[in-house]
Structure 1
Amino acid sequence: MKLAISGKGGVGKTTFSSLLIRELNAQGKHVLAIDADPDANLASAIGIEGAEQITPIAEMKEMIFERTEAKPGTIGGFFKLNPRVDDLPEKLSARLENIKLMRLGGVPKGGGGCICPESTLLRALVTHVVLARDEVVVMDMEAGIEHLGRGTARAVDKLLVVVEPGRRSLDTAAHIRHLAAEIGLTSIAVIGNKVRSADDEAFLKKHLGDFEFLGFIPYDNALIEADLEGISPFDVKSPAIEAVKEMVAKL
């Protein structure tokens, strides 16, 4: 099962991703977690020790040079467009139980994007983990789907968009669906997060009525406290864990 998770910054996308990954792990699945959002720290949310010391792959200049035969930070010139990446999940992953995590990092982009060694390597790596790996793959994406290409998108089983009761979150969900449609990714479901009441749930259903809803996660101070204290949300008592368990069963 290959899952991509997106949503507006601040909606709880990484919290949901970590709960999903830890629940899959608890069910005995082997999970390859991809942190593809430069502003997130999925490793910390999962509960991996030393998460802050994990070097993003985009910053591994020597390795990028070795694989692409071009110096990172350069644009133009000649470099390999199909670098070897099949060994990287084993070599570069941080681990917790049955979870392997890779942190991609960010690639500075100009107005038209970046055709550079770093982005080429990251795109090749995402393509490999989606098309060729036999684990469950969960990708915590940016508020878009930057790392997915047309060929990769067709192999993603589900794009999960995390939303909260709010207009900007709804606009982002519509934007993500538009981007996904452009690359042929049409299997999309929404997760309502930070839901305080039946009114919040009704608000989301009313304004996103043409989306499939996978489930709802109630607003819970315990999740906020876990984030502040650097504890995985899966390791606190919260109704969110049962809600995510039900979503896994649906998936």
Structure 2
Amino acid sequence: MKIAVSGKGGVGKTLIAGGLARGFVERGLKTIAIDADSSPNLGLTLGLSTEQTRKIVPVSENKELVDSKTSTGYTGVYNLNFTVDDIVKQYSVPTPLDVNLIVMGTVQSMGSGCMCAPNAVIRALLRHLVVERNEAVVLDFEAGVEHIGRGTAKQVDALLIVADSNLKSLEIAKHIHDLAAAADMKQLYLIGNRVMNDEQKDAVTKFAKENSMELLTFVPWDQKVIEADMLGVTPLKNKEIAAVKAIDGICDLLLKKTA
């Protein structure tokens, strides 16, 4: 089970990614969560403290690690034949929700052709996690799938594109959908997040239909999520929160659709 989660910044995709990772663990799947956002906070969602997350160095910014994998001793010349399985063992962080977390950092886009050292390590690690390992993997990305690379993108079981009823959010969701389709990703689903009423549901449903996007489900707006964030605790520990229940239900939907 390899699931990618993407969407416009601020639409709540990280809570959905964290909830899915936690849900897979509770269903007996060993799970790795990947934070590939330029402003990583998946660790907080998975129950780590602010102090703990601040100590995590993203893979792309770990110069010692990158150099150990790619250095040849010649300026501008990189070794691209290296193993990455040891990175999972050494740099994954256990979280209170029993999900192992790897903070990737960001890389260049699929079309840029950049083969700088951090890019090479991240691309190889993503391919290893998505293609070669048996664990469930949940990838939390920025607004796009550029991080993955086309070859790896094809191996992702499903891409969840998160949006609220705001038109800007929906337009970015469409852009992500089109890029993912061009990269031959298999199953693309829109999730309407933070919906407060039927009017907002109708707006998301209408947009999805007009743009040939498959709407998977809705996650309701919940004040308790806001309150938990203000207190610096993860909402995922409270299963009575309506949004958390809805996200947990997405796990079952995905398990059926990718079976």
TM-score, with normalisation over the residues of structure 1?
0.92
Q: Retained in 2: the 8 A contact 1:48–1:94?
A: no
Asked whether the equivalents of residues 196 and 221 of structure 2 are also in contact (C-alpha less than 8 Å), the reply is yes
AA at the equivalent of 1:52: R
Residues 115 and 41 of structure 1: CA distance in aligned 2, closer, same or farther (over 3 Å) = same
Deviation (angstroms), 1:27: 2.1
- Which range is displaced more, 225-234 or 135-144? 225-234
Describe how 1:89-168 pairs up with structure 2 within 5 A.
89-96=88-95, 98-107=98-107, 112=112, 114-168=114-168
In structure 2, the CA distance between the partners of 1:13 and 1:70, relative to structure 1 (3 Å rule), is farther
Instruction: Give the counterpart letter for 1:150 in structure 2.
Output: R
**Cα distance, 1:13 vs structure 2:** 0.7
Q: Percent identity?
A: 38
Q: 1:70 to 1:193 in 2, by over 3 A?
A: farther
Q: Which residue of 2 aligns with 1:53?
A: 55
| In the alignment, structure 1 residue 243 sits paired with structure 2 residue 243 | no
Pair 229,249 (structure 1): closer, same or farther in 2 beyond 3 Å: same
Structure 2 CA distance for partners of 1:82 and 1:5, relative to 1, 3 Å: farther
Number of equivalences: 247
Instruction: Name the aligned partner's letter for residue 221 of structure 1.
Output: Q
Q: Aligned pair 1:22/2:22, yes or no?
A: yes
TM superposition shift of 1:26? 2.1
Residues 32 and 100 of structure 2 are in contact (CA less than 8 Å); yes or no, is this contact kept in structure 1? yes
SS in 2 for 1:11: coil
Taking the aligned partners of 2:186 and 2:20, their CA distance within structure 1 comes to 21
The runs of 5 or more residues in structure 2 that have no matched partner are: 255-259
Q: Quick check: 1:84 aligned with 2:83?
A: yes
Q: What value does the CA root-mean-square deviation take over the aligned residues?
A: 2.0
Q: Which residue does 1:227 correspond to in 2?
A: 229
Q: CA deviation at 1:231?
A: 1.0
Equivalent position SS for 1:139: strand
Q: Is the 8 A contact 2:34 2:138 kept in 1?
A: yes
Local SS of the residue matching 1:217? strand
Preserved CA contact (<8 Å) 1:32 1:135: yes
Is 1:203 matched with 2:206? no
Shifted more, 114-123 versus 47-56: the winner is 47-56
Q: SS at the partner of 1:190?
A: strand
CA shift for structure 1 position 107: 4.7
Q: For 1:204 and 1:34, locate their aligned partners in 2 and report how far apart those are by CA, in whole Å.
A: 27
Contact residue 7 and residue 163 of structure 1 kept, 8 A: yes
Superposed displacement of residue 112, structure 1: 4.4
Q: What's the offset of the Cα at 1:40?
A: 2.8
